[in-house]
Amino acid sequence: MHTLVRSSLLLCLTGGALAAPLPSTTPAFFAGHRDALLSRLPAGAIAVFHSAAEFPVEVDHLYRQDSDLWYVTGVAEPEVIAILRPNAADGKRFILFVRPREFKQEQWTGWRAGLDGAKSQYAADDAFPIAEFGERFRKLAAGSTALYYRDGGDAKFREQLLGLWALEDANATQPRPVADAGAIVHQMRLVKDPTEQALMRYASALSAEAHRKAMAQVKPGHYEYDLDAAMIATCRAGGAARMAYPPIVGSGRNSVILHYEANSKRLEAGDMIVNDTACEYEMYSSDVTRSYPVSGRFSADQRAIYEIVLAAQKAAMAAVRPGIAFRDVHAASVEVVVDGLMRLGILSGDRAEIIEKRAFQQYYPHGCSHWMGLNVHDVGSYGYPEGLDRLERYGKAMTKLEPGMAFSVEPGIYIPENAAADKRWWNIGVRIEDTVLVTSSGVECLSCAAPREIADVEKAIAGR
């Protein structure tokens, strides 16, 4: 399957005549999400969503819509408010407030859908200028008994919305309920439908191809940013609007830093590289990490650590199936890491005690997995109690896996200077990460086309 995915991807990247159409969203995709949300709201409720903030023109940052608003509308431009009215007497269940078309402004900041586009492109039942939200909201919300909202991080809008909502309660014996719509939407986002799965599958295949391009740049004397640039170029050429997160290309002592982002060090023979880089496609993210030696061939010590991490990842993936608790994936990886580090003499003591007291976290300090989707660290409950320390959560995430859930599988071992008694292990960092999808029978690895086996990694670095 991986060979077929890569071949199809290469055809797409080269614009081959035989290339299948890339996956994409449709108005029906977003209408389905709206209908699902409306069916989950209490009788008489209304839902309001606000767009993400717009960055100043001087900031080198491509605008990205708030994931929740995009999930129910598909509108990618800023300054948008969506109202969902499940019991609208006039039949207008989906209302958009947008910026009107005005070329003098569009010439500076880009094309807008406008009022007509809000209806023709995004299937809104009606549309109004965003400046009119304040004067129109009370009429649109008349008769509604509860408000569910997402403010897109805009505190000023939240204050305006709640103030307008409260005006209707002036003579009421008790205020009408107000709630965060995220509690409903985020659980919906946990299970991906076929379109979402296809988008994530493509983002992951594209990211895997980018990792191959990066491996071809590995050579003493090159720089971390050479790998970074090769991956970004590949992802953009494949249709990705942006990377899913700032690329992490850390070599040598940087390989043990989990979120190292400078990507500026010269590659030195004998060092390990941890390359955590992936893109998003049509808003859906992938997350892929590969680790390999600058020299092109693993030393005995690098190989020993790498083999533990690879075995831990395979054990974690083998544990994935519907019905198991999220924590069981992490637990499977922990057992392999602990056994491996004890075998090398890096950890010592009672195995059960090491696991119970989490002594392994000095070398494996993060969880094996996190939800993925519209955000690389996506929303949705993990099912652990409130108030837990971050390092405690991984072993207590009780959410049961279901087909359609997507997450990362990313065990790692990091041995900084002075962390181990024997200097031979210092500054060896290894993380192997892939994006996976829960299926009815187990797991589908979406990004495993990126080389993982030692022989395959060494061949990719050698350009074979």
C-alpha distances out from residue 344 to 9, 40, 338, 360, Å? 40, 53, 10, 13
Give the closest residue to 234 by CA, choosing from 432, 13, 450, 21: 13
Note if 377 is an active site residue: yes
Note if 414 is an active site residue: yes
Catalytic residue among 414, 444, 452, 458: 414
Catalytic residue among 101, 366, 384, 393: 366
39 burial type by CB count under 10 A (0-12 exposed, 13-18 middle, 19+ buried): exposed
Contact predicate 376/277, CB 8 Å: no
Note if 370 is an active site residue: yes
Catalytic residue among 189, 212, 290, 431: 431
Catalytic residue among 209, 271, 433, 434: 433
Q: What would the two tokens of residue 352 be?
A: 């059960």
Detail the DSSP E strand segments found in 76-125: 81-84, 94-98
Catalytic residue among 61, 297, 377, 424: 377
Distance separating alpha carbons of residues 255 and 414, to the nearest angstrom = 8
Catalytic residue among 68, 126, 282, 287: 287
Note if 287 is an active site residue: yes
Note if 33 is an active site residue: no
Note if 433 is an active site residue: yes
Distance separating alpha carbons of residues 240 and 82, to the nearest angstrom = 26
Note if 378 is an active site residue: no
Detail the DSSP E strand segments found in 188-341: 242-243, 248-251, 272-276, 279-281, 284-285, 289-293
Catalytic residue among 228, 276, 280, 282: 276
Q: What would the two tokens of residue 2 be?
A: 């991986």
Contact predicate 98/50, CB 8 Å: no
3-class state of residue 177 by DSSP: coil
Catalytic residue among 58, 90, 259, 353: 259
Kindly list the catalytic residues: 60, 259, 276, 287, 366, 370, 377, 410, 414, 431, 433
